[in-house]
Amino acid sequence: MTVTLILTALATARITRLITTDRITQAPRHAILRRLDEDSLLAYLLVCDWCASVYVGAGAAGAWVLWGTTTAYLAVVAALAFSYTAGFLASRESGE
């Protein structure tokens, strides 16, 4: 249970980054932002890590409760957790 919870937390961080920051999702994020008033709360949600993580975390917690013991769930959150961990560590390398 603890491992699944940790993987889910890291998966939450990865999904949040995909929504708010990553270049791979930049085009759809900017397309949505162009359609919104720049002062809207939804626009802010799409660029605020802290804000988006609340909603992503709520969804992840629900998924964890419903499917947390299944192999498929573990595979998905493990892949996201591994991705987040690798990206986090790579961003802290000295450039060697």
Q: What pLDDT, in 10s, does the model give residues 3-56? A: 999 999 999 999 999 999 999 999 999 999 999 998 999 999 999 999 999 999
Burial of 45 (0-12, 13-18, 19+ CB in 10 A): middle
| Model confidence at 89: pLDDT above 80 | yes
Between 94 and 38, the more confident residue is 38
Residue that is written with structure tokens 């959150």 in the block: 77
CA 83 to mean position of chain CA atoms:
10
Is pLDDT at 95 greater than 70 in this prediction? Answer: no
Name the pTM for this structure: 0.90
Residue closest to 84 by CA, chosen among 4, 16, 1: 16
Decide: helix, strand or coil at residue 36. Answer: coil
